[in-house]
């Protein structure tokens, strides 16, 4: 039998088993000065993009308001607009670098709805490809992620820098908002 190694998932499994609450990784990433280590790919004045440390698929991103808010009604109109504009920009960037066939985009409100971090709203962006669901999850209860988080972080931040440079030069990408 072939073994698939994913040791980075052990911290997730161990925390889930104990029910131990973790600090807000989105706020911790926003406060960190090491974006690569904290997997922060992009910031605007009001939103932040973090690579999902436990992805469902290659390219799985989380887009959140920078303020720690757990309910939609707590967001200001500016925060909501900025966050959704950031979702749109991330979809465009992922489309450019990964060429997926589609996306799942969603927001889980509350732990019963699947929110692993119910105190800080965040949208999931999951690139999808025709045929990306195969026998591994069904028979082996295993999901194979074929790209490292470090590699994705490099590609995404390079793409965002290119689109920001293009926007600053009056290119087609719109207003430059990368901080």
pTM listed for this prediction: 0.71
Ramachandran sector of residue 131 (left: φ over 0; alpha: ψ -120 to 50; beta: rest): left
Question: Does a structural domain hold residue 115?
Answer: yes
Can you point out the beta strands (E) in the chain? 40-43, 47-51, 61-65, 102-107, 123-128
53: domain CATH number is 3.30.428.10
| Distance between CA atoms of residues 38 and 31, nearest Å | 9
Question: Does a structural domain hold residue 171?
Answer: no
Q: Give the pair of three-digit tokens for residue 108.
A: 């889980």
| Distance between CA atoms of residues 42 and 48, nearest Å | 6
Question: Does a structural domain hold residue 176?
Answer: no
Active site residues: 122
Question: Does a structural domain hold residue 177?
Answer: no
Count of structural domains within the chain: 1
Q: For the chain, give me the number of helices (H) and strands (E)? A: 6, 5
Question: Does a structural domain hold residue 90?
Answer: yes
Domain that holds residue 49: 22-163
Question: Does a structural domain hold residue 4?
Answer: no
* Tens-binned pLDDT, residue by residue, of the chain (179 aa): 555 566 666 665 565 555 555 689 999 999 999 999 999 999 999 999 999 988 888 899 999 999 999 999 999 999 999 999 999 999 999 999 999 999 999 998 888 777 778 889 999 999 998 877 654 454 445 566 667 888 888 889 988 888 777 665 554 443 333 33
Question: Does a structural domain hold residue 145?
Answer: yes
Question: Does a structural domain hold residue 122?
Answer: yes
């Amino acid at each position: 039998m072939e073994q698939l190694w994913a040791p980075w998932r052990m911290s997730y499994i161990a925390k889930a088993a104990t029910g131990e609450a973790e600090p807000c990784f989105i706020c911790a990433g926003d406060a960190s000065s090491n974006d690569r280590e904290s997997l922060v790919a992009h910031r605007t004045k009001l939103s932040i993009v973090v690579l999902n440390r436990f992805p469902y698929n290659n390219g799985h991103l989380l887009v959140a308001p920078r303020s720690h808010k757990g309910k939609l009604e707590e967001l200001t109109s500016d925060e909501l607009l900025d966050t959704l504009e950031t979702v749109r920009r991330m979809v465009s960037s992922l489309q450019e670098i990964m060429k997926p066939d589609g996306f799942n985009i969603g927001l889980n409100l509350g732990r019963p709805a699947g929110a692993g971090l119910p105190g800080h709203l965040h949208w999931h962006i999951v690139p999808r490809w025709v045929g990306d669901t195969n026998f591994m999850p069904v028979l082996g209860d295993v999901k194979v992620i074929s790209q490292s988080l470090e590699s994705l972080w490099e590609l995404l931040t390079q793409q965002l820098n290119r689109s920001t440079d293009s926007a600053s030069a009056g290119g087609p990408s719109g207003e430059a908002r990368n901080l």
